[in-house]
Structure 1
Amino acid sequence: MKKYIATRTATMFGVLLITLLITILLVGSNMDTILKQGIVFQVRSEIIENPAIAESFSSVKDFEAFIQDQTNQKIKHLGLDEPWYSPQRIGLTMYKIILLDFGQATFLTSDSGSSDVKDIIFEKLPKTILLFTSATVIISIIGIFVGALAASKVGSIIDRITSSFAIISSSFPVWWIGMLMIFLFAFTYQIFPARATPDIPASSP
């Protein structure tokens, strides 16, 4: 039994490493480009927020050289000066992912103001679990009821409609259906919030 568990654990860990490696190989070059563009945006934003820095330069050339220098320093600090396919970069990236060290977000922050990606994920995780669980329960109840009804009337209109709907709905990407539902129920009919569960004041009934 112990040998079986150890074998299964080692297999799962190996599959995880292979999956991470394939993912890094697929998105590595694009992620480097996105990260470097984010650094440039961050440097320029910091200068815009502090006009005294921009005013200290006598020419545009010096200003652009300063931006480039700051960008290069940040790129080197993050290790982006090495090619994304270098063993050191790939190994470090896999190591950080295993430790759930996803780095810092460029544009997003948690409600507490943290830009740590891990904090952002863990902050949204409870509501994600609630959404997934409640949706699964609702879908299961409706699916069992409708499926039993269709099975009891094979060849009927209900059976054909149910089968057709199942085939059509499973053909669409889930993320696209989600965006469509958000647009429909959050923006068109304004029944549900678009992004998050709103806080209900204690004084509300």
Structure 2
Amino acid sequence: MGAYLRKRALTGLLVIFVSLSLTFFLIHMSPGNPVTILAGTDNPSPEMIEHLNEKYGLDQPIYIQFFKYIGNLLKGDLGYSIVSNEPVLGLILERLGPTLLLALTGLILAAVIGTILGIYAARKNGSKFDVFMSGMSYIFDSMPSFWLGLMLILLFATVLQSFPTSGMVDLRAAPTGIEYYISVAKHLFLPLLTVVLTQIPFFYRIARSSVIQTMSEDFITTFKATGMDEGKIFRKYVFKNSILPTVTMFGISLAYVLAGVAIIEIVFAWPGMGRLLIDSIMKRDYPLLMGIYLFLSISIAVTMIIIDLLYSIIDPRIKNT
């Protein structure tokens, strides 16, 4: 197990470094310059542009900037935001909690609900429930998340007037104690529901197809022919072999949700990293962009390591690969 974990950890570090390198060069080589935005005028003077480029090191060759960034990163210094002049680490940590609350909670709920529905539909293959759920999965899969969010606002906030439409807490009430958590839960409901409804179809279809495929295997047919209890067959053999694709899907979906939740955060004015990412892209805030992508890379690499460990627990044969 130790050698397996070290191998996966080294692979994760390599993925983070490659991702960081590609991101750095793509960001710095893309059109636009934070200095022209920071100057704040239509025709800034060449002296001002030169001074700002020198101040932020943008006048140096890109490879020099890269090595300096890596050197500072190894010291734990992510730099300062060009736009706000605040520490990048502080800005990210301030927004990280709300994003994890929305993305992880939504993804876990979607994985659990989608997998349960997919397994049940597979065991009732061809039934009315199976046909209905398969149709609903395609409908929700085709819905853009921002459109679904707007429709939920229209229904629950405008028509039913049950839930707030923006923010994380009611700033006018300034809640404290248990009232604060109740306020967060109310504000979280609609964006969380949007994430869950858009993610359930992935887990539903992968669980359904995996169970159907496993149940059609020859060894399952043999077990049935011997008279073994079908419940025991499912619990001991079908479920264990069918859950691996769902675990993989969870890791892939996490990478999507952490980045894709930005649109949902904008729709509901949720104070997470998604809005911070969009703002930093619009303003070409290089250090902040690099910090956000670094955190995304680390979170994805750590998640994949955890998934690999779960794989090795579910199927010990994987440790030998």
Q: The TM-score by the shorter chain falls in which range?
A: 0.5 to 0.7
1:122 aligns with 2:93: yes
* Distance (whole Å) between structure 1 residues aligned to residue 96 and residue 19 of structure 2: 22
Q: Per residue, is there more helix in 1 or in 2?
A: 2
The verdict on how the C-alpha distance between 1:181 and 1:117 changes in structure 2, with shifts beyond 3 A counting, is farther
Gaps of 5+ in 2: 158-162, 183-321
1:87 aligns with 2:63: yes
Give a deviation string over 1:133-176, Cα, whole Å, max 9, x none: 3213432342244224322321123212323443565567xxx5
| Within-5 A mapping of 1:62-141 | 67-83=45-61, 86-96=62-72, 99=76, 101-104=78-81, 106=83, 115-141=86-112
Which letter maps to 1:103? Answer: Y
Gaps of 5+ in 1: 46-63, 108-113
Contact 1:105–1:116, Cα closer than 8 Å, also in 2 = no
The verdict on how the C-alpha distance between 1:137 and 1:105 changes in structure 2, with shifts beyond 3 A counting, is same
1:55 equivalent in structure 2: none
Which letter maps to 1:89? Answer: Q
Which letter maps to 2:35? Answer: K
Aligned with residue 201 of structure 1, among 164, 171, 175: 175
1:12 equivalent in structure 2: 12
The verdict on how the C-alpha distance between 1:94 and 1:38 changes in structure 2, with shifts beyond 3 A counting, is farther
Compare CA radii of gyration and give the structure with the larger one.
1
1:39 equivalent in structure 2: 38
* Distance (whole Å) between structure 2 residues aligned to residue 158 and residue 102 of structure 1: 54
| Within-5 A mapping of 1:125-204 | 125-167=96-138, 169-170=140-141, 176-177=144-145, 179-186=146-153, 189-190=156-157, 191-199=163-171, 200-202=174-176
Q: How far did residue 88 of structure 1 move?
A: 0.7
* Distance (whole Å) between structure 2 residues aligned to residue 171 and residue 124 of structure 1: 29
Which letter maps to 1:13? Answer: L
Q: How far did residue 16 of structure 1 move?
A: 1.7
Q: How far did residue 3 of structure 1 move?
A: 6.2
CA-based RMSD: 3.6
* Distance (whole Å) between structure 2 residues aligned to residue 19 and residue 166 of structure 1: 33
Alignment length, in residue pairs? 171
Q: Give the TM-score of the pair, scaled to structure 1.
A: 0.63
2:262 equivalent in structure 1: none
Secondary structure of 1:101's aligned partner:
coil
* Distance (whole Å) between structure 1 residues aligned to residue 79 and residue 151 of structure 2: 33
Secondary structure of 1:119's aligned partner:
helix
Which letter maps to 2:168? Answer: A
Q: How far did residue 9 of structure 1 move?
A: 3.8
* Distance (whole Å) between structure 2 residues aligned to residue 183 and residue 34 of structure 1: 34
Q: How far did residue 73 of structure 1 move?
A: 0.5
2:266 equivalent in structure 1: none
Contact 1:24–1:90, Cα closer than 8 Å, also in 2 = yes
Give a deviation string over 1:5-37, Cα, whole Å, max 9, x none: 555444332222112112223232227x23123
1:54 equivalent in structure 2: none
Q: How far did residue 104 of structure 1 move?
A: 0.8
Q: Give the TM-score of the pair, scaled to structure 2.
A: 0.43
